[in-house]
A and B are shown apart, each in its own frame.
Chain A
Amino acid sequence: MLQRVWTIARWTMVELLRERVLYVVLLFAAVLVGGSTVLTPLTPGAQKKVVVDLGLAAIDALGILVILLSGTSIVRRDMDRRSLDVLLTKPLTRLEYLGGKWLGLVATLLVLTVAMSVILITSLEACGFGWQARYLPAILGSGLGMLVMASIAVLFSTFTSPMLGALFTLALFVGGSLSEGMLRTVGAAGGNPLLESLSLAIPNMGLFNLRGDAVHGTGVVPGQFLVASCYAVLYVATALTLAATVFRRRDFR
């Protein structure tokens, strides 16, 4: 089983990386260099913070961009190209197929995140600001968020068109990023059970946002990271199981 999942993941990653996804790394370099050139002279006293904030935010946002552009069509494209027919008539279960697709997407994101992190480290060192190990949890947090968003993208790609899938995934990302603030606002207004249960269904992206602690050097408490990791694992497992349930029932014409 693992060998089949790995086979799907491996070739999915090869395909994604050949589909100009790597241009995202160039985009990152451009954002970082361009952004810091323009912003640092305008933000006296906070130059280093600005470059680090920009770098960490760009790693996160570009990861989400790749998920929206490539992840939400990951199953649909196989359907359209008839590759799916060939794969599913091999001794492969549909759950293995989905797991492999998700893993391939995640492996691609890992490659991209590592490449972007190396660029960030290099530019911080080159500017004389210096890279600090305390920034690492922020990148790991972004990585956990990407795992979750990738599973949501795979879920949508099993039953809807890439455009709708991207729209839904983006909506969940926005909702997930806002849920914390929204809950606080709603909580202050006396609580709304509908909103509260909705906020449990959408991914709590705030949990993976460790950028504030990393930048200000207050340090990420290991317990905080552990909770975020457990939550990510459970959310991914739930989303992929739901995807497999939908996918198992699907007819391919």
Chain B
Amino acid sequence: MVLRLQNIQKSFTSGFLMRRRQVLHGLDLSIEAGEAYALLGANGAGKSTTLRILLGLARPDSGSGSLLGKPLGDCAARRRLGYLPENPTFHEQLTAREFLRYGAGLLGLGGPELAARIDELLERVELASASQTRLRKLSKGMVQRLGLAQALLGDPELLVLDEPMSGLDPPGRKLVRDLILEQRQQGKTVLFSTHILSDVEVVCTRAGILRDGCVATELCLDDLTRLRAESVELTVSALDERDERRLALLAQSTLRAGRIVHFTVAPSEAQELLQAALDAGGRLESMQPRRASLEDIYLEVARLRSPAAAAKRRDSVPAGGDR
């Protein structure tokens, strides 16, 4: 087991009156080697606090845990992990290359291989051209990518990423996703927090939904497939009204705005509707999957897992169907 948290309680005091706020209520979490685990939760659910306790940056009020076979807060274990915090700005006066050399110095890395390793990482996160630029001149996304390179410096066994996709443009998100998949393929363990569901279904082997200060439910690979789009929104232009009425029969709903028509359609019907629209001379403007919210997924998973719902499903759904 790479990491384990057991019955973690954590509260913070704030303000002049030192008001106490409980953030984690008996959180349990365990992750095996080679897993890519997503910690899902709304803002303020305690995702970052959980990661911080795990990394020894915060102390639990009670509970226990281990990280890479050592107790929480152990210095030696940190040599084998890489961490990317949420919304970093880092050392604004250092250049990207200097920042990586700083991190390498603390990991005890050096010698001629270090320069090559830094070049390789800068190349990998597409910052080679900005290697001599000071961090204060880099965009938020670039700093985020640099943070990722820094986390990978020591070739860690465990990669902990706090909201790694936030602040990134679509190519940046793809880069992070690819990196996580790469780590997984190399047998490394990845733990990351996010509130964006689309990140989860592509790269994760398991995910936990954090709610009310504990992992309310865990999604396995099977559950993750359920996170697929509930419906697809197709935007088509250059369709006349007759064709629109004809195509509306296939869609769940239709909305016209000038020359543009928005169709909301079940994922299974999307292909057929798109083909029919193109045949009718329409032009595809955009196609976007619509997903359930985190809350919906949570309720859905809870409903599916409850004994009553399971019994009902057995009665009503013929063999092979899940919904």
Contact = CB atoms under 8 A, between A and B. Distances in A.
Nearest to B151: A86
A133 to B, nearest CB: 37
Contacts of B147: 86
B87 to A, nearest CB: 7
A26 B89 CA distance: 30
A253 B89 contact: no
Interface string B104-116: 0111100000000
B107 A91 contact: yes
A153 B105 CA distance: 25
Given A19-B93, A85-B57, A89-B57, A3 B88 contact: no
A81 B89 contact: yes
B12 A11 contact: no
B246 interface: no
Contacts of B107: 90-91
A86 B88 contact: yes
Given A7-B106, A14-B94, A91-B79, A252 B88 contact: no
Contacts of B87: 82
Nearest to A10: B105
Given A15-B91, A86-B88, A252 B58 contact: yes
Query: Would you call the interface of chain B mostly helix, strand, loop, or mixed?
Result: mixed
Nearest to A18: B93
Interface string A104-146: 0000000000000000000000000000000000000000000
Interface in B46-85: 48-49, 52, 55-59, 75-76, 78-79, 81, 83-85
A82 B85 contact: yes
Contacts of B93: 14-15, 18-19
Nearest to B83: A89
Contacts of B134: 18
A11 B90 contact: no
A87 interface: yes
A93 interface: yes
B106 A4 contact: yes
Interface string A77-105: 00011110111111111000000000000
A82 B98 contact: no
5 contacts: A4-B106, A11-B94, A91-B107, A251-B57, A253-B49
Given A4-B106, A81-B89, A91-B78, 8 more contacts: A11-B105, A83-B91, A85-B83, A85-B85, A90-B79, A92-B75, A92-B78, A249-B59
